């Protein structure tokens, strides 16, 4: 049950766009359309931002978008804002003995 | 408003046991699968366990298999996690989370902290 691979940190200036990658295997990210992204501010519970690779829950800004190619999924945040500074986690359904795998998390810093 | 509230956290000695609870409100609890996810201090999220809406299917992470037991009481709108043989590496904030669709977790509770230490 290895975690999905994310960069430890990314940064960008207000107004810019950033992309966070999430790499798995054909048993998880590559094999299913069930990749999600969560945002977590310090001391808070995670919040769903993207599900099923590219769908946004109601209330989530359209500045957040998701995509997938092969075994790698990506989260793109456009028009960076100060409040986007947080930790971001990807997750995927997996056909292994686990139910869901998480990535190690990416700390987004808005410069 | 959909709400999940965890309770039962605290300090426990290595080898000890603890039972976490998660009270659900604002939705038809019996219609949704539920999960426990934990986060060690300063670390990332780790999925712990899943239970289907009717308790017919349960899954565990390898790290807790044989030590933790997930259960639910749909009449009480409550989810539980019985944790036995606790280890220092089980120290974490434990979140309960509803399954929105397959493997999609939303919302999450505020979490309850478990500290395993002598």
Residue pLDDT, tens place only, A28-58: 999 999 999 999 999 999 999 999 999 999 9
- A36 Cβ under 8 Å from any chain B Cβ: yes
CA A101 vs CA B58, B59, B77, B79: distances in Å: 16, 13, 26, 21
Read off the pLDDT of residues B75-113 as tens digits, 9 standing for 90 and up: 999 999 999 999 999 999 999 999 998 889 999 999 999
Mean pLDDT of A67-79: 97
Work out the minimum CA distance from A17 to partner chain B, whole angstroms.
24
Determine the 3-state secondary structure of B51 from DSSP.
strand
Residue A99 pLDDT greater than 90, yes or no: no
CA B21 vs CA B59, B71, B80: distances in Å: 18, 10, 5
Q: Is the dihedral of CA A43, A45, A49, A51 positive or negative?
A: positive
The pLDDT value given to residue B102: 82
Q: Is the dihedral of CA B87, B92, B97, B103 positive or negative?
A: negative
Read off the pLDDT of residues B3-27 as tens digits, 9 standing for 90 and up: 999 999 999 999 999 999 999 999 9
Mean pLDDT of B38-60: 95
Residue A1 pLDDT greater than 70, yes or no: no
Residues of chain A neighbouring B107 (CB-CB closer than 8 A): 45, 47-48
Which chain B residue has the Cα nearest residue A51?
B104
Residues of chain B neighbouring A66 (CB-CB closer than 8 A): none
Mean pLDDT of A4-9: 96
B62 in Cβ contact with A97 (< 8 Å): yes
Residues of B numbered 12-51 whose beta carbons fall under 8 angstroms of chain A's beta carbons: which are they?
35, 37, 44-47, 50
Residue B3: count other Cβ atoms within 10 Å of its Cβ: 12
- B95 Cβ under 8 Å from any chain A Cβ: yes
CA A57 vs CA A96, B27, B37: distances in Å: 27, 17, 21
Mean pLDDT of A53-76: 97
> Of A29, A60, A46, which is closest to residue A88 (Cα–Cα)?
A46
Instruction: Please state, rounded to an integer, the average pLDDT across all residues of chain A.
Output: 95
Work out the minimum CA distance from B106 to partner chain A, whole angstroms.
6
- B112 Cβ under 8 Å from any chain A Cβ: no
Read off the pLDDT of residues A50-63 as tens digits, 9 standing for 90 and up: 999 999 999 999 99
Q: How far apart are CA A35 and CA B102, in angstroms?
A: 10
């Amino acid at each position: 049950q290895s975690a999905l691979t994310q960069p430890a940190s990314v940064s960008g200036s207000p107004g810019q766009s950033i992309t966070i990658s999430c790499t798995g295997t054909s048993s998880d990210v590559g094999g299913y359309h069930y990749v999600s992204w969560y945002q977590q501010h310090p001391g808070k519970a995670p919040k769903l931002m993207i599900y099923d690779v590219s769908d946004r829950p109601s209330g989530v800004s359209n500045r957040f978008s998701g995509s997938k190619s092969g075994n790698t999924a990506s989260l793109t945040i456009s028009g960076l804002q100060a409040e986007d500074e947080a930790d971001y986690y990807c997750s995927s359904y997996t056909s292994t003995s686990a139910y869901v795998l998480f990535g190690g998390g990416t700390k987004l810093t808005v410069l | 408003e959909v709400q999940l509230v965890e309770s039962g956290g605290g300090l426990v000695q290595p080898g000890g046991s603890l039972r976490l609870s998660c009270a659900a409100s604002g939705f038809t609890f019996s219609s949704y699968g539920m999960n426990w996810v934990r986060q060690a201090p300063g670390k990332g999220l780790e999925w712990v366990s899943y239970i289907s809406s009717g308790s017919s299917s349960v899954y565990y992470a390898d790290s807790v298999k044989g030590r933790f037991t997930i259960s639910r009481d749909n009449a009480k709108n409550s989810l539980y996690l019985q944790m036995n043989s606790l280890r220092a590496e089980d120290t974490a904030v434990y979140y309960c989370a509803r399954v929105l669709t397959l493997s999609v977790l939303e919302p999450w509770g505020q979490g309850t902290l478990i500290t395993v230490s002598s």
